[in-house]
Amino acid sequence: MHNWKKALANARPGESKYKLLVQAVAADIEQGTLIDGQRLPPQRQVSDALGISVQTVTNAYKELERQGRVRCEVGRGSFVSRRTSERVATSMLDQTEQALMDFSNARILHTDAHDRLWRQTCLELAQEPDQPWIHAFRPIAGMQHQRESAVRWLARLGMDVGIEDVLLTSGAAHGIFLALATLAGPDDVVLCEGLTDHGAIGSSQVLGFTLKGLEMDRYGLNPEHFEDMCSNERITALVCTPNLNNPTSALMPDERRREIAEIARRYGVYIIEDDVYGPLLAGQQATRPLSHYAPELSFYCTSMTKSVLTGLRIGYLVMPKRLALRTESILRVNSWMAPSLLGEIATRWIDSGEAEDLVQLQRQLLANRQALVEQELGEHLIGNHPYSLNSWLRVPEGWETDGLLRELRRRNVALTLPDPFVPPGMPRPRAVRLCVGAECSEAKMRQGVQIVRDVFEQYPKVHDF
Mean pLDDT by 10 residues, the chain (465 residues): 86 84 87 84 90 90 82 79 56 59 94 96 93 85 95 96 96 96 94 94 91 96 97 97 96 97 98 97 84 97 97 97 95 92 97 97 97 96 96 95 93 94 91 94 94 94 66
H or E element: which one contains 356? helix 354-377
Question: Cα–Cα distance between 110 and 389 in angstroms, integer?
Answer: 13
Residue 92 confidence (pLDDT): 57
Q: Please report the domains of the chain, with CATH numbers, ordered by start residue.
A: 1-81 (1.10.10.10), 83-109+354-455 (3.90.1150.10), 130-352 (3.40.640.10)
Residue 243 confidence (pLDDT): 97
Cis peptide before 396 (omega within 30 of 0): no
Residue 26 confidence (pLDDT): 86
Packing angle of the helix pair 324-335, 172-183 (nearest 10 deg): 120
- Considering Cα of 344, then 346, then 349, then 350, what sign does the dihedral take? negative
Residue 93 confidence (pLDDT): 58
CA distances from 311 to 110, 342, 358, 381 (A): 10, 9, 14, 30
Question: Cα–Cα distance between 284 and 387 in angstroms, integer?
Answer: 10
Would strands 189-193 and 210-214 be described as parallel, antiparallel, or unpaired? parallel
Give the closest residue to 157 by CA, choosing from 243, 258, 219, 263: 243
